[in-house]
Amino acid sequence: MMRMVVARLIVAILLGIAVGYAVGKSTAADAERGNALTMKEYIADFDHHKQELISSRVPMAGALFVGALMIVAMFGLYELLVWCVDRLLAVLDRRNSLATQPGTPPPW
């Protein structure tokens, strides 16, 4: 039981690091684009920016279905990763228990 908790903790930390890194890189790229953008460029391309914002109209039913599907896939991937890390920890734990233990050997 404790091994499963450790596996969940390891997977959660690694996924948190990966998502944090991706969000940080995306934010830095957006900030860099924003710093390079001038008002003249934005005004000259205003219609294009407006079309990008209004062109991606998704029906609510489709958004709900895709959102639910993504959540199920995310939790499925999380549980698969936890299972794999748990198996890896089990193999590592078995190797430690098979090693010679310190102390005097049994009398038989």
Containing domain of residue 60, as a range? 2-94
State the greatest distance between any 2 C-alpha atoms of the chain, in Å, as a whole number. Answer: 90
Per-residue confidence band for 15, with pLDDT thresholds at 50, 70 and 90: very high
Q: Would residue 86 count as lying in a domain?
A: yes
The answer as to whether 105 is a domain residue is no
User: Which residue is associated with the tokens 């684009």?
Assistant: 33
* Residue 108, domain member (yes or no): no
Residue 101 lies in a domain: no
What domain count does the chain have?
1
Write the burial class of residue 36 (CB in 10 Å: 0-12 exposed, 13-18 middle, 19+ buried): exposed
pLDDT in tens, 54-84: 887 888 899 999 999 999 999 999 999 999 9
Answer yes or no: is 47 within a domain: yes
